């Protein structure tokens, strides 16, 4: 039974770390790379009748070409609020509104903006790695507590701790690979 408890702790840590990696992937998708993609704006918070609402709940998106994103609000009265949310975001894009849809033209990224985006991506990756390490620390405390309560032998504790370390290293390596790919994508002219 003691080995089962340690296995559960490690498995729970693995699940939490996988969610952290997925979160980093989603964060990376929201960073502009010079191509128009709905992922850049769909999670923006719009003040819709006094309630912060994600943009994907208020509009549909089309990408007619690589440099243009068209936002079609379901409720035309929300157009001003959507425009305001896009303008105040850190995308650096000015929306144009024709009364029916909002068009977002994506100019080519400057070298300076690319460098800034690389810094942002590195910061998001570091936050993901910190989350993974925090999950490891929490799981490590749980294992220590199990050993202290005599629910886990010291050999099983050590085996579980090694497993936990492998899972942690795997998560960090996955984030590093995602970061390398995103940096390459950002610096590509």
Query: What average pLDDT is seen over the chain?
Result: 88
Taking CA atoms, 33 is separated from 39, 66, 113, 135, in Å, by: 11, 11, 10, 30
Q: Are strands 59-65 and 51-54 parallel, antiparallel or unpaired?
A: unpaired
Q: Is the dihedral of CA 65, 71, 74, 79 positive or negative?
A: negative
| Bridge partners (DSSP) listed for residue 70 | 62, 103
Percent of the chain topping pLDDT 70:
96
For position 1, what pLDDT does the model report?
43
Of the candidates 81, 84, 58, the residue with the CA atom closest to the CA atom of residue 71: 58
Tens of pLDDT, residue by residue over 41-60, are 887 888 888 889 888 888 99
Q: Does domain 2-29+111-187 have CATH number 1.10.132.20?
A: yes
Radius of gyration of the chain (CA): 22
Taking CA atoms, 88 is separated from 62, 77, 115, in Å, by: 21, 19, 21
Report the pLDDT averaged over residues 59-72. 88
For position 43, what pLDDT does the model report?
79
Q: Which range has the worst mean pLDDT, 50-54, 66-70, 72-76, 105-109?
A: 105-109
Q: Where are the beta strands (DSSP E) in the chain?
A: 45-48, 51-54, 59-65, 68-73, 96-97, 102-105
Q: Where are the beta strands (DSSP E) in 66-169?
A: 68-73, 96-97, 102-105
**How many angstroms separate the CA atoms of 167 and 13, rounded?**
8
For position 86, what pLDDT does the model report?
87
Domains 2-29+111-187 and 38-105 share a fold: no
Tens of pLDDT, residue by residue over 79-128, are 888 888 888 887 778 888 888 899 988 777 788 888 888 998 999 999 99
Residue 13 pLDDT more than 80? yes
Tens of pLDDT, residue by residue over 166-177, are 999 999 999 999
Residues 6+ apart with CB under 8 A from 29: 37, 39
Residue 2 pLDDT more than 60? no
- Domain boundaries along the sequence of the chain: 2-29+111-187, 38-105
For position 36, what pLDDT does the model report?
76
CATH of region 38-105 = 3.30.1360.40
């Amino acid at each position: 039974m003691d080995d089962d408890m340690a296995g559960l702790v490690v498995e729970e840590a693995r699940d939490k770390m996988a969610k952290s990696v997925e979160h980093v992937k989603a964060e990376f998708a929201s960073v502009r790379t010079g191509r128009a993609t709905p992922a850049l704006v769909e999670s923006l918070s719009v003040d819709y009748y006094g309630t912060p609402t994600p943009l994907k709940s208020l509009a549909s998106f089309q990408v007619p070409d690589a440099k243009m994103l068209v936002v079609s609000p379901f409720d035309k009265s929300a157009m001003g609020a959507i425009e305001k949310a896009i303008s105040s975001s850190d995308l650096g894009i000015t929306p144009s509104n024709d009364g029916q849809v909002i068009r977002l033209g994506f100019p080519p990224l400057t070298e300076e903006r690319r460098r800034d985006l690389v810094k942002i991506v590195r910061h998001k990756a570091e936050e993901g790695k910190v989350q993974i390490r925090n999950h490891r620390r929490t799981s490590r405390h749980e294992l220590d507590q199990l050993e202290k309560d005599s629910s886990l032998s010291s050999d099983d504790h050590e085996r579980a701790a090694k497993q936990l370390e492998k899972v942690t290293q795997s998560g960090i390596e996955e984030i590093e690979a995602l970061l390398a790919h995103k940096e390459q994508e950002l610096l590509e002219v």
